[in-house]
Chain A
């Protein structure tokens, strides 16, 4: 065997090893989380609130808080994101304003979540006087997710054939009407992808929520939710693991988060498949 062949075999092994490492990491994470958390994932854990008097832990409030955050942040991010994407693909002409907006979107997607949390605290908790609340958390998360929604909807809008638009315009429809009735319905998959990716980010985000939404564990109904502080599942995981040493509970929450991540992934894949079939 000469040097060239040896180098070839070496590089093949290294490349294969790299891919194996990736799979091994995922397998390790899943095994650790399920192994350490399965014992603590009881119905009681999921369906009750924590009680100091009884000495029990329950994560129902955290689940509710996560759902509220999801709802409120999507209600804010989706319209703004979709409208911005429509503007950028259908109306904007290349120019100073357009490049300004593109630069802003790129910058927003690169900012670390802890800076979002800090500025969110300054702007929403103190300036807008939301105090520490789910509202402040949802607003912060919404701004974090707007770039994601814009990108996915933009991608999807671009795949709508130009002939659709031209056909509608030829039939006398105005531009706005065309977009509303012809283009947008064909871009639903982009909106759904944006939705799902944002949902993933909301459930996995923790640094941005620590200072904006706090870490209270009380169960509140939807009507009060906006003005109360609350921990989401990720924040609760951090608090139970780091501040209370309740590792069993932390891993149980981790199992739930992994399931959510997996489902979100599945949903994204299904949307992509449906889109492929459509084309």
Chain B
């Protein structure tokens, strides 16, 4: 193992021995698990890092909106550098669609700017409340992976600043290895100060939408094949039902409407999930009922309509803090991709294990990844089937299930997504990402995350609940 990965643990723990006060930690990830104390420092200017640390030797981690689910955006007892105050739009060229922005600009802010000008994000995840820097650092993907690849494929260049103050301009031509290490590099290679993003033209906010019910993985694969030329495809899958309803779902297709429409900015969300739901709210009965409602909400097996892009891409963004639904213990996500060789068999086996566990909830997504290679050394997407779903944290149960599902993923040749993870073991991580030691050479010596500390820990310590 390269030296740079060996040193951080000792002083990260000495940095602060204060235990987490009973109240809220200063910064939570979207899954609200695990909860760690840290010092939160706001960055407002590109020149703030590293000078804002004033020679302190604490470990740091750049973070954005905290929408990754597990601990890639956490650093226990360290310093979190939140970039959201660094959100200036530095340049936009309507001829090329290239926007240059500081890394703390959110995709929501970029949409507010771009949509009225007739442009849209080249790739968008299921929430617009993520920063540009975070989208690069996790090389996020969207419903158009088959047509567009992942986010990093649309980033012509960016700058990172290292903790020693060195600035590195990264593009496929300049410092290409730093470019590859930083895309999907989980923020560990340095602070991304600004980046360019190639936006794409649209003529309407509307999405021509189709929803098609399916039963089982074969039908899913058939639909995927039939609609392989449609830009956006995704499916919701029922992970609770067994028997004849096993792996039923709704296959969703969308394309930007070609009929010119009004390009006004989106309204502010009005609904807020007001407080933590009690622990008993999510159980097998309520989840079965919920899944049946989602499946049958679409009355006919096949519907077509024109939908605004907000509910199509960001159905959950309309309720702020929806993660409180999982109560104060929080949730974990499980997201794999399995390459085509083992994709069908693996997906059926894992869906069966999930349904039998009785732990699944209702937010499950099944989708195919296309063949466009991601540019990052540590990027998650690869051709195959991707499944993502949430589990409520149940002490003594959830983590054990996740370790088993991780091992099954490994057996079928797949891998898990660090941005969603709070559970993969060092052994699993190092098999999923055989490049990790090469990547580690690009990590900034002062930057680390709780995720990185966990999955590179060779003592084999497992996370526990």
A is bound by B: no
* Chain A residues proximal to chain B, CB less than 8 Å: none
